[in-house]
Structure formats: structure tokens, C-alpha cells
Structure 1
Amino acid sequence: MTNIGFGIDVGGSGIKGARVNLDTGEFIDDRIKIPTPQPATPGAVAATVEEIVRLADWDGPVGITLPSVIRNQRALTAANIDPSWVDTDVNSLFHETLGHRRISVLNDADAAGLAEVSFGNPEARSGSVILLTFGTGIGSAFLMDGELFPNTELGHLLVDGVEAEHLASSAVKEREDLRYGQWARERVSPVLREFERLFWPSLFIVGGGISRKAHKWVPKLECSTRVVPAELRNRAGIVGAAMAVDRDLTP
């Protein structure tokens, strides 16, 4: 019998959810996506999450990712969502709209890391690996022999006086109309070299929607550490969220 879960990935531009086969990491059916409400306040996002669950006709446990540091089920930061998220009790918030079911809330890049270890690139399971998700911002997950160190925020590290995600996110590439090679060499490479200088990883894994075009930019990166594309790409957040609630992970 197939083990099925449900995950929702809250991003700066879209909120996405799907049923997940927890044995394979594949979606059971099509992903549901609704634009992130603006402003992305806790109440507005919770209402959108409720709508996705309703459209999916799902009545089981729900895992939810947020672009926030999550500790003891409280949002401590708010990256690319409304500042009113800071210090929100996220578990209580989503129980108010989703009712009495099991809910896990975790950082979006951490969810991607969990998914990549289980269902993605096998190299994520050994050594000191930094997974980076490029989207509206830059998310990060630290993995040591496949184990997660949660709530790293490398996207906010200063590189040449600028936050890394303000320099090198895929949103910056689109906004400034940068070519893939230019973005890789002039924006992403300096960020990776700074991460190398500070953390000395054995491997970078790059994910997010732009990893679908990895062949256009990963070979153009200029850093010492090997860089490989994530295999789950932008499925990873949803899959990791479904895994988290299935495993009763509540950071």
C-alpha cells in the first residue's frame, strides 16, 4: 500500500502543494499553485494554504514550509514574506485554519535538504554538503553525512557588503535581465567562493526552479568546490514538507 503524504511550500511568489508518494518522492497528482497573497501576512498565507488543502480534497496530516527560521514552531525571521510573521506561533496559526490534524512547519530550504538526501542526488548523503535553493531569495541547508543542521541563513550573509540573495538570487537575474553566464560568473560565483572561505564544504548542491536549466549556468561557475544540480529541483520543498509531517519533525 502506497504511503501518501501532503506537503505545501510557501514561497515569495507562489504557494504550492501536492500529494507525495513517501516511498519514491514522486507527486501522486498535479501540483496545485496559487500566487502568494500580497501582503503575505500570516492570516492571508494561512487562508491560501487552507484553499490548497481544500482543492486537493486532503484530510490528512500537512507539512508546510516557510521562508523563515522556525524554532519551537515559531517563525523567528520573515524573508520575502510580511514582517508580521516574526514571532508568530506557526503551529497554532495553521491549526486554526486546517483544524485538528497533524501539522509540521519547517524552513523551506531545510525541507529541500531532507528531500534531496532521501530521494535526490546520492552525494547529499555523505560529507559536508551545502544545498542552496535559488528563487526569490537564496535558501540554504547544511548536511553532514545526510544529517541536517537546521535554520542556516546563508542567503543573508554579506558578500562584498551586499546580502548574498540580493546579489545572486534567480529573482535578481530576472529583474536585471542577466544572461546565464553573466549571472553565474559575476553573481553566483563570488557568493560560492565566500561560502567556501567560511565553511569549506565538500560539495555544493544547487536547487530551486532555475536548476532546471543547470546546464546553462553550473558549468560556468568559478569556484574550487564541485557544484552539482539538485535532482528534485523545485519539487523538493513540497516533498520535504510531506516527509517532515510523516516523521513528526517539528523544529
Structure 2
Amino acid sequence: MASTPSSLPSRLSTRLSIQRRTRASCRGAARPTSHRNEFFLRPRATADDAAEEILGVYVTAGAVDVRAAAVNARTGAFLRAGASTKLESASASGVVEAVRKVVDTLEWRGAVGISLPGLVTRIEGESADAKRGTIVRAELEAATRTATGCEVAISSGAEACGAAELAYGAGVELGEVATKGLVMFCMVGARFSTSLYDAGQIVKNFSGEKVVDSWGDGDVATIPEENGATDNETGWKAFAQRVNAYLIELEEKYKPDAIILGGKAGQNAEKILPALTCQTKVVPGTLGFVAGVKGAALLASQQIATRGTLSRVREAIGVANGVSPQSLTDEQLRSVFDKFDTSQNGVLELDELIAATEALNVQVHDARKLMDSLDYDENGVVSFDEWMRWWKSQVKVETVTTIVSQAEWHNVLKDEGDRLICLEVGFTFCRPCKAFAKKFHQIAEDFPSVKFVFMHGNENGSTTILARDELGVKATPSFFLFRSGKRLHMHSGAKEERLRNAINRHLTDSEWPQALGPRLPVISEEEELKLAERS
């Protein structure tokens, strides 16, 4: 079935006059069968070419049809009329074919963001799930990229709708909570899907779906259908109470500053909100179904830019995945420096310095202060020698080693032999983890005989699988002690005394640091738990 001009609202009509990204002679041409010609007519957008104009594509609830429109990712404005087509099947081939049709109809040549509610995996490296009907995100991106010749980024429905609401809709009224706090988006209807945003940025590899997996199970109150048997006060009350129970569970686990309610529950907020008893502020979404199209474009613009940064780092250091910043060689650092020296003048300016440093998993908290501390000759830029001097004195000798993959963790276990290892696992959005960071580093300095390691459990697919499946992390921060490859201890919670007690309990007398004075009495785990209960 050919795609047709969409019946999307007038907001999709042209707002800005923008230049076509293809030659006039190519307009209206039939789709070529030659892969070479196809690639020529549809040049793939790169990270450097990614502009504010992105084609947002959204598969509607129930996987019925596909809607697409060009979006200004900065403002959220639709740029001109969109297009839609039927989704023949909720499969990888069905999605690819539908996207190809709307791309052809709109003669699109730029980047494409696609949002697929309930159809794609949420965790990097996660396998397809036939029972849930999910498709591997990376594989679908690759297939769609091949079929269209466009750069493609895929998000889930909750991720896209939440991003749009935060940037252009309900988040505007939330103010600083949206830009600085932790905001959860819950799309509630026949499905219950979640996404999380920390300081306005989507949290990668968020596993909130595990909490709401049981939403469709059993004989439970479902959302009342308009004019249906349960479309009455009793039906809506039962449904609202069920929504409330799930929100309370999510609130207790993730402690967001605000929750945006989307989907049909958000559209019927006046029937839902009065029944909620959770402590977190809950507001309804304001964008309706267009949130999916706008959010798909917004997330694509961010993801494509991030890919460009990561590819530059990976190309520079010569590995497919990230590595610990402490393990980089001088040659790898030189290569990264050159990659981020975009002006090719042999020095890093402020924006280049921040990009290079953060790309290597070293967080920059005060960019100007960092520049001033590195710029020894005070000429306003940083040379490679200045950067290398700082790296070796501050990062290379860091008392806590940051790891970013399962392979790195397994290497630590192997390389450290019978040395005691202390591993902290946090999440990028975990505020107790951030607050505990200085204490963890101080403990590491106090116990030089112990190898201290830190990992974000949602950094990437590899760390997510390590945290969830191998280590069994349920809450963060979580602390583990290992020796000779064997786990000796595990606990959760940002309590300094408990971690110090655990380390003391597993040290030998010769490993106790003399700088701390006489060894403290060893407290058993049972005694420690009793003390924790009393406090």
C-alpha cells in the first residue's frame, strides 16, 4: 500500500521554508534498483551533518500505522505536512518497509528518528524476545539504514514521548525540576511503559519495565473504553487505583522528583489524578499523539551526535568498546587529542577539551576551572603536553578505577589475584551514588592495599548485563568485596561505616594500613545488621 499525505493536524503544515537536501533533478524520480544509485540519491547523514531537521517517525499504539513528519529538534516545531502509511506487520521487515515508504513519499534525505512502542529492546545487547514481540534495536536500525540510505536512530514509545513532553510539553511547566531533577515518564493504557530523565537527558538502559511487566497479567482493571461497560465512575476508580499502586512501586524504587503521565491515562487525567496517593508530583502530558513523532526526532538528534563522539574515541583508541580512562596508553591519548582537535591547530580550545575529556569517561564539573588548571602557559588553549601532564597526575593515578565493560571487570578479577577488591555499582541517575562519591574515594585512599573499582550499571549493554545478571544488583549504590575471584560480601546503601566495617572484616593483619593506627575491632555481619536496624 502506498503511503499518502497524512491527516495529521494543521500543526504539521509548513512553518519554515527549508531547502531540499537533494538536487532538483532527482525530485519525483522512481526509486532505483541499483544499490549504488540508491546510495547516491540518499546520502547517509553523518554526526557532523546532523542538523536540527530530523524526520520523526512514530508507530501508533497497536502497531496499526506509521506517521512521519519533519521536526525542528531544537524547538519541536513541525516543518511541513507529514505522511502516513499502514504497518502491514509488527515485524522487522514490516517496520523497515513502512519507514521506507514514508521516506520516499516525503523525499527525505536527512536523519530519521523512529519510535516503536513495545516493539524494540530497551537494553543494549539484549536479545529479541518472541514472547513480548520485541526486535533488537541495533539490528532494526541497521536494516532501516540500508533500506533508506538515511542515518537512523530508534527509541521506544515511552522514551520518545517522554523526551518530547519534557522538552516541549509538560516539562516546560515543571521548570527546574525538568532541567535539573529526575523525571519519570509513564505511558499508561493497554500497556504500561516507563522512561527516566536525569537533568533533561534520557537515562540509558533504564530497566523500569521490570517493575511494570505484570501490567497485562490476570483479570485486572483495564482502562475503560469510551462508551464501554466500564466507562463509569466505578470503572475509572478501579483503574486509577491500579495505576496508583504501580506508581507507588516506581516511586519507592527510583525516587523521581516528578512523574509525567502519558498515554490514555494522561488524556483522562481528571479521572486518574484525584485517586493518586503517591508522594511524587504527577502531571499529565500535554502533547497527545504528536509527542511520539516529535520525541523520535529529538532523541535521534541527540543519539546521532553521541555516536559521532563515540566513534571518534573508538577509532582513536582502536577498540570497539570503551575502556577505563586509567588504562589508556600515551599513544591512545595522543590519537584522541588529535581526533578532537577539530580546528587542527595542535591545541584544544575549551569546547574541544570538554568533549575529549568527557568522551574518555572523565566527568568535567567545572569546565573553566579545568581549562585554567591545564593551561600552564596561560595562552587560552591546552597543548598535548599540558593535557598529558594533567592526565598522568590526576587521572592515571586515580585511587578508584572506573570500568565500562564486563571484560574489564573480568580482567580486574584475573589481574589482582588474591588482593581484596572493592567494587561499587551505581546508576548514572542515582543521587545517593553521586553524594557518596567523595567518601568512596576517601575510603580508597585510606586502604591502599585494596583495589577499588567503580562502574555505572547502566553505562552500556555490557555493564547492564554485568550488574543485573552476574552481580544481581537490585538497588544502588551496591558494594561488593572479592578475593581470588570469589565474592565475599555484598550490601546496598550509601553508609560509610558499613563499608569500612566490611573491608576491615576481610583484611588480613598485614593489609591493615598503619596510617589508620591500631586495627579496629572486627564487627561480624550479623552484629552489623543489628546495628543497622537500630539506627
- Give the TM-score of the pair, scaled to structure 2: 0.40
Alignment of 1:70-85 (within 5 A): 70=122, 76-77=127-128, 82-83=133-134, 85=135
CA distance in 1, matches of 2:296, 2:183: 20
Q: CA RMSD for the aligned pairs?
A: 3.4
Cα shift readout 1:153-172 (whole Å, capped 9, x = no counterpart): 434425xxx71355899975
Instruction: Kindly indicate whether residue 124 of structure 2 is the aligned counterpart of residue 69 of structure 1.
Output: no
Structure 2 counterparts to residues 208-223 of structure 1, below 5 A: 208-223=263-278
Counterpart CA distance in 2 for 1:199 and 1:168 is 28
Long gaps (5+) in structure 2: 1-15, 19-51, 308-459, 461-535
CA 1:79/1:102 → structure 2, altered by over 3 Å: closer, same or farther?
same
2:113 touches 2:153 (CA, 8 Å); kept in 1?
yes
How far did 1:214 drift? 2.3
Instruction: Please point out which of 246, 252, 275 is paired with 1:191.
Output: 246
Distance of aligned partners of 1:52 and 1:202 in 2 relative to their CA distance in 1, 3 Å threshold? same
Asked if the contact 1:206–1:230 (Cα under 8 Å) also holds between the matched residues in 2, the reply is yes
Shift of 1:27: 2.5
Is residue 19 of structure 1 aligned with residue 70 of structure 2? yes
1:241 aligns with 2:296: yes
SS at match of 2:195: strand
Name the counterpart of 2:188.
Answer: 134
The sequence identity of aligned pairs, in percent, is 24
Aligned length: 244
Does 1 or 2 have the higher relative contact order (CA < 8 Å, sep 6+)?
Answer: 1
Q: Distance in 1 between matches of 2:115 and 2:93?
A: 15
- State the 1:8 CA deviation: 0.9
Counterpart pick for 2:144 among 91, 94, 98: 94
Instruction: Provide, for residues 93-139 of structure 1, a one-character-per-residue CA deviation record: whole Å limited to 9, x for no partner.
Output: 1022212x221122332222322232122322232211111244222
Q: How does 1:105-124 map to 2 (within 5 A)?
A: 105-120=154-169, 121-122=171-172, 123=174, 124=178
Which residue identity is paired with 1:63? G
State the Cα deviation string for residues 165-202 of structure 1 (Å, max 9, x = none): 55899975449854463254332111111112222222
Q: CA deviation at 1:16?
A: 2.3
- Alpha-carbon distance between aligned partners in 2 of 1:59 and 1:210, rounded to the nearest angstrom: 36
CA 237–35 in structure 1, closer or farther in 2 if over 3 Å, else same: same
- The answer to whether the 8 A contact 1:207-1:234 is kept is no
Larger radius of gyration: 2
CA distance in 2, matches of 1:126, 1:169: 37
Q: Which amino acid aligns with 2:107?
A: D
User: Is residue 103 from structure 1 mapped to residue 157 from structure 2 by the alignment?
Assistant: no
Unmatched tracts of structure 1, length 5 or more: none
The residue type equivalent to 1:96 in the other structure is T
Equivalent AA in structure 2 for residue 134 of structure 1: V
Cα deviation, residue 143, structure 1 = 1.6
Query: Could you say which residue in structure 1 is the equivalent of 2:206?
Result: 152
Aligned equivalents of 2:249 and 2:112: distance in 1?
36
Q: How many angstroms apart in 2 are the aligned matches of 1:209 and 1:13? A: 16
Shift, 1:75, TM fit: 6.3
Corresponding residue number in structure 1 for 2:107: 57
**Shift in alpha-carbon separation, 1:169–1:239, aligned structure 2, 3 A:** farther
Confirm or deny: 8 A CA contact 2:189 2:263 kept in the other structure.
yes
Kindly tell me: are residues 91 and 53 of structure 1, through their superposed partners in 2, closer, same or farther at Cα, counting changes over 3 Å?
same
- Which amino acid counterpart does residue 25 of structure 1 have in structure 2? G
Cα deviation, 1:45-90, whole Å, max 9, x if unaligned, reads 1111112222333232111123323555x6645599735x247612
Q: Determine the structure 2 residue equivalent to 1:46.
A: 96
Matches within 5 A, 1:200-215: 200-215=255-270
Letter of the 1:235 counterpart: V
On the 8 A contact 1:63/1:242 being kept in 2, the answer is yes
Calculate the TM-score normalised by the size of structure 1: 0.79
* C-alpha separation in 2, matches of 1:87 and 1:53: 19
Structure 1 position 6 matched with structure 2 position 55: yes
Change in Cα spacing, 1:173 to 1:25, as seen in structure 2 (3 Å) is same
Query: Counterparts of 1:230 and 1:17 in 2: how far apart (Å)?
Result: 20
Q: Is the 8 A contact 1:166 1:172 kept in 2?
A: no
Q: CA deviation at 1:44?
A: 1.2
Seen in structure 2, the aligned counterparts of structure 1 residues 241 and 195 have a Cα distance that, compared at 3 Å, is same
Distance 2:104 2:242 in 1: 40
Check if 1:143 corresponds to 2:143.
no
* 1:202 aligned partner, one-letter code: D
Tell me the SS of whatever aligns to 2:289.
Answer: helix
Q: 1:16 to 1:195 in 2, by over 3 A?
A: same
Cα distance, 1:178–1:77 mapped onto 2, change above 3 Å:
farther
In the alignment, the residues of structure 2 paired with residue 87 and residue 148 of structure 1 have an alpha-carbon distance, to the nearest angstrom, of 16
Structure that is richer in strand per residue: 1
